[in-house]
Amino acid sequence: MSSIIISCSICDVFLSHTWLTHQVLFAGRKIFLGHTLFAWSAGYDVGPREEIYRRMFDERNPTNLVQLLHSHNIAYVSIDDGVRENTAIRHLNEPIYRQYFEKVFEDTEHRYANIVIYKVPANELGAESRQNKSLPTEH
């Protein structure tokens, strides 16, 4: 995991689970949404940001997903067991990330909650995704 953290910019923003003790935070990197208790108790309206967070993990259309991530300056997406088990995320779109995004780290030794880190494409996705292919919605 240290190799991905070393190769990314200190300014890069990660989309990750909201744990206070997340590996990305321990590595000194910025995250899109952390644990909201402190911000909420200080009077910040965290609801809209939480909804955007859920959309980033629910969006089924790869082109729309990349646009959403770009609009919030997300450089990397970290999916681990915390995200996979998060009941606020209705239909985790991990297959979209797996199919359309470059995997830059995978916890094959199962030391970091089975984390997989994907790099957000710098530009629009390839021609295949421009045909608005999406994964079917699970019910």
In a domain, 131, yes or no: no
In a domain, 27, yes or no: yes
Task: Name the domain count of the chain.
Answer: 1
Q: Is 9 left (phi over 0), alpha (psi -120 to 50) or beta?
A: beta
In a domain, 54, yes or no: yes
pLDDT for 131 equals 46
pLDDT for 33 equals 85
In a domain, 120, yes or no: yes
Structural domain of 22: 2-125
pLDDT for 126 equals 52
Provide the whole-model pTM.
0.80
List per-block mean pLDDT (blocks of 10 residues) for the chain, which spans 139 residues. 64 84 71 74 82 96 97 96 94 97 94 94 64 46
* Residue 30: CATH number of its domain: 3.40.50
